[in-house]
Amino acid sequence: MRRLAAPALLLAVTGCWVPMEKGRQLEARVQRLEVETKEQAQELDVQIREKIAQVDKKLREVQVKLDELNTVSRAKGADLGVAVNKLGEDLARVKGDLEAQAHDLAQLKQQVADASKETEARLASLKGTGALDEAMARQKIAELPRPDDRGSVYALAQQTEAGGEKGVARELYLHYVKRWPRDDKAPEAAFRAGQLLAQQGKWREAVVVFGKVAEDYPKSDRAPEALLQVAEGLVQLDRKDDARGLLEQLIADHPRSEAAKKARVRLAELAPPKDAKKPPPRKK
């Protein structure tokens, strides 16, 4: 009966865990956002280039008119007056067009700046879901010379973690476990993913991952330590009674392990306070 305690306990803890399908939906949202942002930036870039070309054209028209005015300035009599009036009207029209084009160009530049800020804000809002980390992990894997080579993927996860991209590294480790669940390195990859979740304070998710290590790889060297981490996660989730029960199970199942030694210490720390001594009865 003791063996059934851990799976049942983990099932209860994972009740609020986000389904994988929701993660896929979030990833799709991120990908659509990236495509839309790229297309929008390209469209605005084309519009800006067109406006700049129109401004350059107007400037050339102004220069032509100035050259004509210089030529007319050498004319005489009534012809000079007519030419000057005509050129004045043309210059006024070109100036108005130029000012309108400059205004449109300024608006386009502001749209680009606003779109950039909006995109950053939307991406930031999605970061906390983990979907962005998963999307980036998939991209890194796709860029590998051999995406199906388990050694390359595991090395990529380690390099990414060493580089400080903890969330992306976590997703790479989880991908490794899902892709090669029976590989010798799978227990270690899953354990590392759990540690990264714990470091980020995502204890509910960490409990799930550590629990899978203990359930799927019960004979691995990481199984006892994973149970210890599940217990710690339960403490962090304010479920100390469940944590104590799991620590007792760990000690019973792996009595000589290093994790069992730590479990005994942690169990003593979590022991409920002893009841205060009752006062002696009053004498009649």
pLDDT in tens, the chain (284 residues): 444 455 555 545 544 334 344 445 555 665 666 666 667 667 766 777 776 777 667 667 766 766 666 665 555 555 656 666 776 677 677 777 777 777 777 777 677 666 655 555 555 555 555 677 888 899 999 999 999 999 999 999 999 999 999 999 999 999 999 999 999 999 999 999 999 999 999 999 999 999 999 999 999 999 999 999 999 999 999 999 999 999 999 999 999 999 999 999 999 998 776 654 555 555 54
Residue 59 DSSP label: H
Phi, psi for 235 (deg, rounded to 5) = -60, -45
**CA–CA separation, 216 and 177 (whole Å):** 11
**CA–CA separation, 34 and 26 (whole Å):** 12
H/E element holding 273? none
**For 257, left (φ over 0), alpha (ψ -120 to 50), or beta?**
beta
Q: Is the Cα dihedral 169, 174, 175, 180 positive or negative?
A: positive
Beta strands in the chain (DSSP E): none
Q: Is residue 251 classed as helix, strand or coil in its secondary structure?
A: helix
Confirm whether pTM is higher than 0.75.
Answer: no
Of 12, 6, 30, nearest in space to 171 by CA: 30
- Which pair of structure tokens corresponds to residue 186? 């799978």
